[in-house]
Chains A and B, each alone.
Chain A
């Protein structure tokens, strides 16, 4: 079965999400801006998708940035199924 796992961090505003993208990319972390899945919010927000293995680095970079994040999730995706788990960032 084709399972994909990734992390997603969402912010209170698109401006903050874009700033976070810049900060993380400049630090050499591979991230991708994606629309937030509709199971998390019905709003048309964008979040930062990342490799779960980078969670620690992202945690400290976001902490230093003073950006207000809204939620952090671990998402597992099978063919027609998505499992979304809220994870906590230590601030």
Chain B
């Protein structure tokens, strides 16, 4: 990563410096002190197929440009659009909290985790909820919202039928589908699995 302090420089120096830095490194963070320079760097980023992130500080702008390699760029787009080859991971969620510890924190973390899945490419192929995990797609309002977003983006959402019945939550499932152990084992056997 290269950091550039381009404050106080006149146009087009910030652009030239940033462009040079991008020839050496894929990730460049530039600091500029005016909106025009910020916009010019944003345009440079578009031209060079970079993802750009702009942080408006009190007086300055910080622009992060990360160049996406051709291969990654194409798989990102396809994953975003309709599930490319990289969309192959299965998330196996076995609890209604993330990790061991205080329940309040565990709930905060699992909510943040599912939210972040909606923001990150490539998307998973499937998310499977088992045991207490089935409380997430049935009882947790925010998680249900985010699972709907994932489902609309082509992610398969599966909840264990035995578990729904055991916890008496069959009527509450409003996102994804009920599944059985045969389908679950099939999914786990044929894809890379992330156990949560």
Binding site for B on A (CB under 8 A): 14, 18, 32-35, 39-40, 46, 79-86
Contacts and interface: CB of A to CB of B under 8 A. Distances in A.
A18 B104 contact: yes
Nearest to A49: B115
A33 B76 contact: no
Interface of B: 51-58, 64, 76, 80, 104-105, 108, 111-112, 115-116, 142, 145
A35 B51 contact: no
Given A32-B142, A86-B56, A86-B58, A80 B112 contact: no
B56 A32 contact: no
Contact of A81 (B53, B55, B58, B112): B53
B53 A84 contact: yes
Contacts of B105: 14
Contacts of A46: 108, 112
Contacts of B115: 32, 34-35
Given A18-B108, A32-B142, A35-B116, A86 B53 contact: no
Given A39-B64, A81-B51, A33 B112 contact: yes
Nearest to A32: B142
A46 B111 CA distance: 10
B150 to A, nearest CB: 15
A82 B65 CA distance: 11
B67 to A, nearest CB: 12
Contacts of B57: 86
B104 A85 contact: no
A41 B142 CA distance: 23
B55 to A, nearest CB: 5
A81 B54 CA distance: 8
Contact of B54 (A32, A34, A79, A83): A83
Contact of A85 (B56, B76, B80): B56
A33 B54 contact: no
23 contacts: A18-B104, A18-B108, A32-B111, A33-B108, A33-B111, A33-B112, A33-B142, A34-B111, A34-B116, A35-B112, A35-B116, A46-B112, A79-B80, A80-B51, A81-B51, A81-B53, A82-B54, A83-B56, A84-B53, A84-B54, A84-B55, A85-B56, A86-B57
